[in-house]
Amino acid sequence: MAIIEINNLVKKFPVGKGFFTALNDVNLTFGEGEFTGLVGPSGSGKTTLLNIIGSLDTPSEGSAVVLEKSIAELTHKQSAKLRNQHIGFIFQTYNLLPVYTVYENVEFALLLQNMNGTERKKAVMQALEWVGLTDKIKSKPNMLSGGECQRVAIARSMVKKPQIVLADEPTANLDSKNSHHILQTMEKLNEELKTTFIFATHDEKVMKYMKRIISLKDGQVDNDVQINHSETSNLKL
């Protein structure tokens, strides 16, 4: 079943007296448990597309239907609820709160949920266990490496077990070893929880983990391929 359906999506941004078309007639569907890379050069529309799927922005024309909700038709309150309950975000720059500890940064994602303290603690500790950071719960972000910060961000995005996780260049600031660790963690969560992951990336290292690769070019889908890893495992991607 499709959990994301994008039909004839157009996104235009006002620029000067005219418009810049960042997405131009995009049609895509995503099913449950997909692990997809959205690739393409800088400026091709990756972030714009993730923002619309994540209900942080709205279509100019066409539609994006996420978990049966049409993004264009949601009120602010409804889109906040959709994000809060069902969508996790991971950003290139981690976006951790510097004055809070690792534990508090992850817990923060649950504060708007109707959960008691015991349940919340259990969920936070489980999420930190997924990313292998239970020994750092009291550390603040400035005491952590880039890879560890990104693992906290993954824990924060996953703690509410969202159906969809959107990651915008999640490995852009990481070295190769940390990038692989991050991807292996997400791969494991994808398999265990059936979370749908969509990664915007132009990092070659990310590609070989993907089960599907969608290439964007000038705001349009240029290519959309399913990757069969048993056939491509000998290929150098």
Q: State how far the Cα of 167 lies from the Cα of 198, in Å rounded to an integer.
A: 6
- Contacting ligand ADP (CB under 6 A), which of 8, 29, 43, 222? 43
- Contacting Mg ion (CB under 5 A), which of 21, 36, 47, 79? 47
44 binds, among Mg ion, ligand ADP, none (CB under 5 to 8 A by kind): ligand ADP
Answer whether 106's CB lies under 8 Å from 159's CB.
Answer: yes
Q: Please, what is the minimum distance in Å from the beta carbon of residue 41 to ligand ADP? A: 7
How many residues make contact with Mg ion (CB under 5 A)?
A: 2
Q: State how far the Cα of 180 lies from the Cα of 174, in Å rounded to an integer.
A: 9
198 binds, among Mg ion, ligand ADP, none (CB under 5 to 8 A by kind): none
How many residues make contact with ligand ADP (CB under 6 A)?
A: 13
Quick check: 44 binds ligand ADP (CB under 6 A)? Answer: yes
Give 11 or 151: the residue with its C-beta nearer to ligand ADP. Answer: 11
Q: Which residues of 98-123 are buried (b: 16+ CB within 10 A; e: fewer)?
A: eeebbbbbbbebbeeeeeeeeebeeb
Q: State how far the Cα of 30 lies from the Cα of 32, in Å rounded to an integer.
A: 7
CA nearest 104: which of 72, 78, 136, 75?
136
Give 85 or 215: the residue with its C-beta nearer to ligand ADP. Answer: 215
Answer whether 13's CB lies under 8 Å from 20's CB.
Answer: yes
Answer whether 46's CB lies under 8 Å from 23's CB.
Answer: no
Give 121 or 212: the residue with its C-beta nearer to ligand ADP. Answer: 212
Quick check: 42 binds ligand ADP (CB under 6 A)? Answer: yes
Quick check: 45 binds ligand ADP (CB under 6 A)? Answer: yes
45 binds, among ligand ADP, Mg ion, none (CB under 5 to 8 A by kind): ligand ADP
Q: Is 166 helix (H, G, I), strand (E, B) or coil?
A: strand
Residues that bind ligand ADP (CB under 6 A): 13, 15, 20, 22, 40, 42-48, 200
Residues that bind Mg ion (CB under 5 A): 46-47
